[in-house]
């Protein structure tokens, strides 16, 4: 079964850092483009960042709202994707989803909640 499981969310103070993890199973992560999408409480969906696949050199793209603060990385040996979030702001509070970027965004994880508050 193709599955994505996120972890690493929690409560962090403004200016702090958090690293989200996404463990993939049922497929080879390195073959696929991968995305991080977030949803603030009661709001719509926002693309945060995208990582191309290994064949395209794992190039990363970011939304303007997180550019310079968030970094996507991968560990092929663990079939995992990561989102390093630095200099967090209250407006980064959201559920963060790990998503496979195939035929649009075909497989979604359940999400992990991040709360930025003092």
User: Could you give the CA distance from residue 72 to residue 22 in angstroms, rounded to a whole number?
Assistant: 11
Phi, psi (deg, nearest 5) at residue 55: -60, -25
Q: Pick from 20, 52, 43: which is nearest to 61 by CA?
A: 52
Select from 36, 70, 82, 97 the one that contacts other proteins (CB under 8 A): 97
| Four-residue CA torsion sign, 6, 7, 12, 15 | negative
Does 107 bind other proteins (CB under 8 A)? Our answer is: yes
Among 31, 75, 91, 106, the residue binding other proteins under the rule CB under 8 A is 106
Determine the interface stretch with other proteins among 7-15, 16-24, 78-86, 95-103 (rule: CB under 8 A). 95-103
| Chain contacts with other proteins (rule: CB under 8 A) | 35, 44-47, 50, 61, 63-64, 97, 101, 103-111
């Amino acid at each position: 079964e193709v599955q994505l499981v996120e972890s690493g969310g929690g409560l962090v103070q403004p200016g702090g850092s958090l690293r989200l993890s996404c463990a993939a199973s049922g497929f080879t992560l390195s073959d696929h483009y991968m995305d991080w999408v977030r949803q603030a409480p009661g709001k719509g969906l926002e693309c945060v960042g995208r990582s191309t696949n290994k064949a395209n050199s794992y190039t990363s793209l970011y939304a303007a709202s997180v550019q310079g603060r968030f970094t996507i990385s991968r560990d092929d040996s663990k079939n995992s994707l990561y989102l390093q979030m630095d200099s967090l702001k209250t407006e980064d509070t959201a559920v963060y989803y790990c998503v496979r970027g195939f035929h649009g965004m075909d497989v979604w994880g359940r999400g992990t909640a991040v709360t930025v508050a003092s």
